[in-house]
Amino acid sequence: MCGIVGYTGPREAAAILLGGLRRLEYRGYDSAGLATVEGGRLHLRKRMGRVSELEDLLARRPARGGCGISHTRWATHGPATDANAHPHAGGRAGMVGLAVVHNGVIENHARLRAELMAEGFPFASETDSEVIAHLIARALETTHDLLEAVVTILPRLEGTYGLAVCSASHPGLIVGARMGSPLVIGVGDGEHLLASDAAAVAPHTKRVVYLEDGEVASLTPAGLDLAHRERGPVAPRIDRIDWHPDQAELGGNPHYMIKEIREQPTTVVDACRGRLSRRDATACLGGLNLSPRALRRARRIVLVGCGTSWHAALVGEYLIERIAHLPVEVEYAGEFRYRNAPLDDRTLVFILSQSGETADALGALREAKRRGHPTLAIVNTVGSTIAREATGGIYLHAGQEVGVASTKAFAAQVAVLTLLALYLGRLRHLSFSDGLAIVEALESAPGLIEEALKVEPIVERAAEQVATARTALFLGRDLLHPVALEGALKLTEISYIPAHGYPTAEMKHGPIALVDPQTPCVFLSARSPLYSKTLSSIEEVRARGGHVITIGTDGDRVLPALSDTFLPIPDAPEVILPLLAVIPLQLLAYHVALKLGRDIDKPRNLAKSVTVE
Ligand code: AGP
């Protein structure tokens, strides 16, 4: 997803902007650029490709100055080209003096473009964002005040934006504005930063101000003014970043994805820290902002998410229905926000999102709020839009997840949903001893995940075969059905091998047509009452010469004899099986992608946080 970094202060802006863009690279992008102001001139440099290409350009043509803005673009309108890269210059031919970077989508850009072209403004790109630059330039011709010019044109923009502007006529000033796409200010000593993600400002300051929708900021080295478009001046709310930027370093791992897979024992410890009560055999969830009485009154729960978060929600459905006896509906965020689902007034809506900025998930939250439902966020990023707009919620505390393919966030979401199921169950019928069993299962999970990670050498060998496959099937029952879906998504999104996940019983209703000796069929089949039924499905694949990979309980004597590859996981209470069974699948996707030479942490076409619909 696009990234924005701005700086104004006593230091050279270009180096700080480039460092910030590098910290946002993990979000996925296809071009990069920056603009600085110095000596009454605007220096604009931009390139398609990686930040390193921009650095090469700057080595040849430096951009001086202590004030500047920069951007990494994830193409929405127009392909990745130098001209379509941001910043975009605004102004009539020969009078360019300002630059704009923009995240989001301007839905009425075509009409605005026609209006501006009719007045003689020259367009150099195919993007929607360029209209913003010319609108501001046109307003500046009369106001001569950059902040006023920006505020004047914002009502003309239909759609979403997180934008930053700088101008040669206003040295040292950056104006930022937010509507639907995140912006955060870094408050330094004698300097200020502006970014779309706190990771870009963290190396310089821990003090941050998250902009709300409708707010406009004007930053100079010594000044920070915030105002809402309608409500007027706003006192900046200074938060503190609670993680160290070095946490997001590789720590000796070759990729962020494998680092984050290996971090999962710690991830589950952090997700449960301070939230398990042996005394009451329940979970302690302080941020729900709903009384036990209100939670007891709930008659239904809707879990909403996208991608991996949707898979975690599906695990949550099995857990909450089984442990708390509450009906649960799992919804794709992009569908929920428009399908007008019939919800009664005793329905709680939970939004799951690692980034807390996914546009579809944010839209679903706002739709649920519009209909008057308590909306609870299960998110990782502190201070993210979804976290701030929800009525309450539960943070994952998984630390920054850099790999585009989500791994440790899935573990944290599943752990938190297990805590939620336990808490809701103990509000209702769940006995002390049954509650304590779940507490103990969660306490044992980190050690068991550590054990499960030892399967990596076997997975590495299995990856040889899978890397040559045209497709692959992932099959699981009950609590392991969502894990099968997640395994398929992992393989698909980083190896580009189209993989399919199904409930095991569904295989014979169609997917079995894919079975042949070249198609790996991955069965999740930990010991459970349905174990024998899985064996039957495995036999059906073997009878057709299929390639069988099974994930089962260590010590199982039957499965290895039926499998081309058996991937053992430790024996464990059923409630934490999803946390264990996903490990070999994450590792399999990683090693297959490695063998295929894929860009592990930044797979093609993908973004870490999809902040556009
Ligand atoms: C997961 O590996 C994917 N990168 C993607 O499906 C992701 O889970 C989805 O975009 C939701 O992101 P969120 O959790 O930040 O809302």
Residue 501, domain CATH:
3.40.50.10490
Q: Which of 259, 408, 602, 608 is catalytic?
A: 608
Task: Give yes or no: residues 456 and 370 share one domain.
Answer: no
Task: Give yes or no: residues 384 and 283 share one domain.
Answer: yes
What is the per-residue pLDDT for 243?
Answer: 66
Task: Find the 402 Cα to ligand 1 centroid distance in Å.
Answer: 12
Ranges of the chain whose pLDDT falls below 70 = 1, 26-28, 76, 243-249, 251
CA distance 137 to 88: 11
Laid out side by side, the sheet with 98-103 consists of 88-90, 98-103, 161-167, 174-179, 215-219, 224-228, 232-234
Q: Which of 311, 406, 410, 605 to mutate to test the pocket of ligand 1 (most atoms within 8 A of CB)?
A: 406
Domain count, the chain: 3
**Amino acid letter, residue 79:** P
What is the per-residue pLDDT for 26?
Answer: 65
Q: Which of 308, 385, 485, 599 to mutate to test the pocket of ligand 1 (most atoms within 8 A of CB)?
A: 308
Task: Find the 72 Cα to ligand 1 centroid distance in Å.
Answer: 19
CA distance 425 to 431: 8
Three-state secondary-structure class, residue 208: strand
| Domain end among 241, 256, 272 | 241
Tens-digit pLDDT profile for residues 93-127: 877 799 999 998 888 899 999 999 999 999 999 99
Contact yes or no for 323/422 (Cβ under 8 A): yes
Q: Is 404 in the pocket of ligand 1 (CB under 6 A)?
A: yes
What is the per-residue pLDDT for 248?
Answer: 57
Q: Whose CA is nearest to atom 4 of ligand 1?
A: 405
Tell me how far the alpha carbon of residue 246 is from its chain's centroid: 19
Q: Is 103 in the pocket of ligand 1 (CB under 6 A)?
A: no
The reply to whether 284 belongs to the active site is no
Q: Is 405 in the pocket of ligand 1 (CB under 6 A)?
A: yes
Q: Is 550 in the pocket of ligand 1 (CB under 6 A)?
A: no
CA distance 349 to 217: 32
Q: Whose CA is nearest to atom 5 of ligand 1?
A: 307
Task: Give yes or no: residues 173 and 309 share one domain.
Answer: no
What is the per-residue pLDDT for 605?
Answer: 86
Residue 608 lies inside a defined structural domain of this protein: no
Selection from 35, 231, 229, 38 nearest residue 147 by Cα: 229
Q: What is the pTM assigned to this prediction?
A: 0.75
What is the per-residue pLDDT for 153?
Answer: 97
If 0-12 CB within 10 Å is exposed, 13-18 middle and 19+ buried, where does residue 203 land? middle
Task: Give yes or no: residues 345 and 411 share one domain.
Answer: yes
Task: Give yes or no: residues 186 and 294 share one domain.
Answer: no
Q: Is 610 in the pocket of ligand 1 (CB under 6 A)?
A: yes
| Domain CATH for 207 | 3.60.20.10
Q: Whose CA is nearest to atom 7 of ligand 1?
A: 307
Residues 6+ apart with CB under 8 A from 445: 268, 415, 572, 576, 579, 580
CA atoms within 13 A on the CB side of 376: 23
Average pLDDT, the chain: 93
CA distance 94 to 496: 46
Q: Is 586 in the pocket of ligand 1 (CB under 6 A)?
A: no
Tens-digit pLDDT profile for residues 59-83: 999 999 999 999 998 776 777 889 9
Laid out side by side, the sheet with 328-332 consists of 328-332, 300-305, 347-353, 375-379, 392-395
Q: Is 355 in the pocket of ligand 1 (CB under 6 A)?
A: yes
Of how many residues is the chain composed? 613
Q: Whose CA is nearest to atom 16 of ligand 1?
A: 353
Task: Find the 317 Cα to ligand 1 centroid distance in Å.
Answer: 18
Task: Find the 362 Cα to ligand 1 centroid distance in Å.
Answer: 13
What is the per-residue pLDDT for 280?
Answer: 96
Residues 6+ apart with CB under 8 A from 249: none
Residue 441 lies inside a defined structural domain of this protein: no
Residues 6+ apart with CB under 8 A from 610: 1, 306, 358, 359, 360
Sign of CA dihedral 525, 527, 529, 535: positive
Q: Whose CA is nearest to atom 6 of ligand 1?
A: 307
Task: Find the 311 Cα to ligand 1 centroid distance in Å.
Answer: 10
**Ligand 1 atom nearest residue 308's Cα:** 8
Long-range pairs of 114-120 with CB within 8 A, sequence gap ≥ 24: 120/92, 120/93
CA distance 145 to 225: 15
Task: Find the 472 Cα to ligand 1 centroid distance in Å.
Answer: 21
| Domain end among 241, 257, 284 | 241
What is the per-residue pLDDT for 223?
Answer: 94
539: left (phi over 0), alpha (psi -120 to 50) or beta: alpha
| Domain end among 397, 430, 463 | 430
Q: Is 365 in the pocket of ligand 1 (CB under 6 A)?
A: no
**Ligand 1 atom nearest residue 608's Cα:** 4
Q: Is 306 in the pocket of ligand 1 (CB under 6 A)?
A: yes
Residues 6+ apart with CB under 8 A from 324: 421, 424, 425, 427, 428, 430
Task: Give yes or no: residues 76 and 149 share one domain.
Answer: yes
Task: Find the 198 Cα to ligand 1 centroid distance in Å.
Answer: 18
Q: Which of 303, 598, 610, 613 to mutate to test the pocket of ligand 1 (most atoms within 8 A of CB)?
A: 610
Task: Give yes or no: residues 221 and 307 share one domain.
Answer: no
Q: Is 384 in the pocket of ligand 1 (CB under 6 A)?
A: no
CA distance 30 to 468: 28
Task: Give yes or no: residues 225 and 278 share one domain.
Answer: no
146-153 and 130-143 helices cross at what angle (nearest 10)? 120
Residue 420 lies inside a defined structural domain of this protein: yes
**Ligand 1 atom nearest residue 307's Cα:** 6
Residue 436 lies inside a defined structural domain of this protein: no
Residue 612 lies inside a defined structural domain of this protein: no
Task: Give yes or no: residues 260 and 209 share one domain.
Answer: no
**Ligand 1 atom nearest residue 606's Cα:** 4
Q: Is 358 in the pocket of ligand 1 (CB under 6 A)?
A: yes
Task: Give yes or no: residues 224 and 261 share one domain.
Answer: no
Domain that holds residue 477: 452-602
Task: Find the 68 Cα to ligand 1 centroid distance in Å.
Answer: 31
Task: Give yes or no: residues 17 and 128 share one domain.
Answer: yes
Selection from 505, 521, 326 nearest residue 425 by Cα: 326
Task: Give yes or no: residues 70 and 9 share one domain.
Answer: yes
Q: Which of 1, 255, 306, 389 to mutate to test the pocket of ligand 1 (most atoms within 8 A of CB)?
A: 306
Beta strands in 504-579 (DSSP E): 520-524, 547-553, 565-569
CA-to-CA dists, residue 325 to 310, 322, 430, 442, 447, angstroms:
20, 6, 9, 20, 29
Beta strands in 402-495 (DSSP E): 472-476
Q: Is 308 in the pocket of ligand 1 (CB under 6 A)?
A: yes
Tell me how far the alpha carbon of residue 327 is from its chain's centroid: 27
Task: Find the 17 Cα to ligand 1 centroid distance in Å.
Answer: 26
Angle at 245 between CA 242 and CA 248, to 5 degrees: 110
CA distance 337 to 329: 14
Residue 257 lies inside a defined structural domain of this protein: yes
Residue 607 lies inside a defined structural domain of this protein: no
**Ligand 1 atom nearest residue 386's Cα:** 16
The reply to whether 67 belongs to the active site is no
Residue 488 lies inside a defined structural domain of this protein: yes
Q: Which of 2, 166, 272, 521 is catalytic?
A: 2
**Ligand 1 atom nearest residue 406's Cα:** 2
